[in-house]
Amino acid sequence: MTNFEGKVKFTSLSKQEKEKNLYSHVDDYSNSVWPASNGAASHQLGSKSAKEDISFQFPFDSEDFIDGGYDSSEDPCNAMEISRPPEVNLKNVLSGIVAILTGRNKGPSVSLHQQLPSSNVSFLGSEKNGDTYLHSSVYIPSAPPLLEPSGINYSANKEVLEAEPPEWLPDSSTTVCMQCTAPFTALTRGRHHCRFCGGVFCRACTKGRCLLPVKFRERDPQRVCDACYDRLDPLQGILINTISNAVQAAKHDVMDWTCTRGWLNLPVGLSMEHEIYKASNTLRSYCQVARLNPERSIPLAVLKGAKGLAILTVVKAGVLVAYKLGTGLVIARRSNGSWSAPSAICSVGLGWGAQIGGELLDFIIVLHDTKAVKTFCSRMHLSLGAGCSAAAGPIGRVLEADLRAGDRGSGMCYTYSCSKGAFVGVSLEGNVVATRMDTNLRFYGDPYLTTNDILLGTVDRPKAAQPLYAAVEDLYSSLRS
């Protein structure tokens, strides 16, 4: 091996001599490069000699470490391990594949304290088999809950939260919009009052809907101007959890013969509270039928495998061609066995076949898989099926099986129902089912909430829907007994 000036070869030296020569050579080299403190020996960094000295700051080649016989593992002063990537050939590739398959490529686990000695926080832990896992402290939320005093700045929002209802300005107070200054017209630009400030604005400047503070005594989102929307939007989280319709206790929960609304379900419900009452009444009526005649009830095996329930009240009338209209709600079963928050739906359909009469039907649609639930997450979906109806007086039966398809998927559903009226026939049925987004907005108060969030998300079960969940539990308990 060729020896260059300023290099040291450690082929035949002992370990102590290697260390001694190494340290002495580094000291001599450092003294030769940097000038003395008294300035006797000066070096110009821009000169050629200085550049040459700096270029030999480390006095040995890596080849000398390998080819020259120097063993870095025996040197306690060497803190850096010099390694080269393995050569890419067929033998190394095959051995690597075998190591991966047999698990021999897993090295000993190194904790984060060993990798970063300066850090006193550990996010990773090691298991006995050598795998690493994320520490549970990582999942602890760093932000305070919204309802706690530290969640929002009460002092900064006190003026908004304690605001009083304003006195609306009369329409004659201005002839132009108070925001965009566009003149009002009878057809294209009408007048609208902001419910928070009472000003007069055009439709384009009052597109926002927000829940108002407690003193306004309004539980539905109200029309506000753009400026008030910017003030109210940061507080919608706390208002949704305190004054919305969903967090109120159910007022109408009597469903026996002592209440006239319990006698007959109306086909169209104007609010989610009405839909919850109708659905609860339908389930309780079906529980009574199941107790009197178990053979006419929904099989327990079908209910156990249900991933969701859609409950509607529909009116149907016609000769040969029957028209149908109704509203209801849908709930989904979560992975832990509980039921989700309800979502309002409406149904419009036609039936064709050998049929005549009119009837009022209370449907219980069993969604037996997740695909069927996702179908009801669509804004609108179509159902096609066949069924037979027979109603004479207050008790009748309708059995249907249909296929539903929407933009979120498709799935099979089974329909069980009780009917009232005078109707008989066999027909092919077609229905369009749509999500009532306006009803969901008035109930939950959140304009950003989607049907997927309600049925498949983590929306808490509303307090106002407790009668519905109690009726579902009664239905399952009656079928088990």
For 223-257, give the DSSP string: EE-HHHHHHHGGGHHHHHTTTSGGGSPPS----ST
Average pLDDT, the chain: 75
How far, CA to CA in Å, does 328 sit from each of 176, 212, 347, 381, 467?
Answer: 43, 28, 8, 15, 15
Q: Identify the band that residue 77 occupies on the pLDDT scale cut at 50, 70 and 90.
A: very low
Give the residue carrying structure tokens 């086909």.
267
Closest CA to 457 of 466, 448, 470: 448
Lowest mean pLDDT among 113-127, 210-224, 325-339, 351-365: 113-127
Is the pLDDT at 48 greater than 60? The verdict is: no
Could you tell me the CATH superfamily of domain 157-243?
Zinc/RING finger domain, C3HC4 (zinc finger) (3.30.40.10)
Q: Give residue-wise pLDDT tens across range 167-214.
A: 999 999 999 999 999 999 998 999 999 999 999 999 999 999 999 999
| 313 CB neighbour count, 10 Å cutoff | 25
Percentage of the chain with pLDDT > 90?
36
Closest residue by Cα to residue 351 from 388, 297, 302: 388
Q: What angle do CA 293, 281, 385 make, to 5 degrees?
A: 70
Q: In whole angstroms, how far apart are CA 369 and each of 77, 123, 457?
A: 67, 38, 16
Question: Helices 437-444 & 272-292, crossing angle to 10 degrees?
Answer: 100
pTM of the predicted structure, to 2 decimals: 0.65
CB atoms within 10 A of CB 302: 13
Q: Take residue 452 and report the two structure tokens written for it.
A: 């997927």
What CA–CA distance (Å, rounded) separates 275 from 96? Answer: 64
Query: d(Cα 228, Cα 209) in Å, to the nearest integer?
Result: 10
What local confidence, expressed as pLDDT, does residue 343 receive? 96
Tokens of 145: 């809950």
Residue 260 has pLDDT above 60, yes or no: yes
The whole-number pLDDT of residue 143 equals 43
Determine the pLDDT at residue 403: 62
Domain ranges of the chain: 157-243, 260-478
Measured between alpha carbons, how far is 206 from 200 in angstroms, rounded to an integer? 9
**Predicted pLDDT at 92:** 77
Tokens 């020259």 belong to 68
* Strands 380-393 and 124-126, sheet pairing: unpaired
Cα–Cα distance, 63 to 3 (Å, whole number) = 12
